[in-house]
Copies of this chain bind each other. A is one copy, B any other.
């Protein structure tokens, strides 16, 4: 999707000298992404996979002309890393780090908004546009180039469904993992708006889950603003009420945010909803 990732996307890896950072830098490069360097304070002068490591984002941006970054630094330091990226003029920051205090997320998301930087995440698998670039941790093998935009709150469930799409011959224009935290930089609605405008996207697969009201808001937006067909899967029909299902996004409380409420809202907005992941490619093929 030209709105976020393009062939000119140049990526810096914040926390490149860590295990996750270096592994995924390599994977992103294999995907064809222009990874231009990394930042780890105090490690200036080192190289990782032949990429230069810088002490600061300001210096890294000055030298590499990067416009995008991916954050792997541990939760207690993630806010600082994101603010540094924003101040350095980075236009898109994918925050992979999980367990970031929600106050920190609120602060860097609002600051990024003020400065005109897009945040994807935190606690997300990042995003990818097959044939262009991947800024994230999703396995390369699941993707194929095509016309479907995928937006998902979930991590590995995204892999599952994107993989299923690929195996059914349904390629993707862009896949955005928006993250499962209560407060995130790019919402379903933000992503849908981008997909609606994006010429390379013909239809959209939305992967939701129980908790919060993001799917209900997406349904409202789809009803009012979307002309492209949207398909969905909402995880958690069988999840027990009131229990945490692994992360903060997945709480059912007070009858709102249930799978049923989300599925009904989406269906009322004309969205076909699959009941299990394997059904997603089937409804897309049927709908197309």
Contact = CB atoms under 8 A, between A and B. Distances in A.
Classify the interface of chain A: helix, strand, loop or mixed.
helix
Contacts of A114: 110, 113-114
Nearest to A114: B114
Interface in A107-127: 110, 113-114
Contacts of A113: 114
Contacts of A110: 114
Q: How many copies does the complex hold?
A: 2
**Which size bracket describes the interface of A in this complex?**
under 10
A128 B113 CA distance: 31
A110 B114 CA distance: 8
Interface in A148-188: none
Nearest to A111: B114
Interface in A71-120: 110, 113-114
A110 B111 CA distance: 10
A152 B114 CA distance: 27
A110 B115 CA distance: 10
A16 to B, nearest CB: 31
A62 B110 CA distance: 26
A166 B15 CA distance: 62
A114 B113 CA distance: 7
A104 to B, nearest CB: 18
A113 to B, nearest CB: 6
Interface string A230-274: 000000000000000000000000000000000000000000000
A193 to B, nearest CB: 16
A113 B114 CA distance: 7
A230 to B, nearest CB: 28
Interface string A26-55: 000000000000000000000000000000
A116 to B, nearest CB: 10
A113 B110 CA distance: 11
Interface of A: 110, 113-114
3 contacts: A110-B114, A113-B114, A114-B114
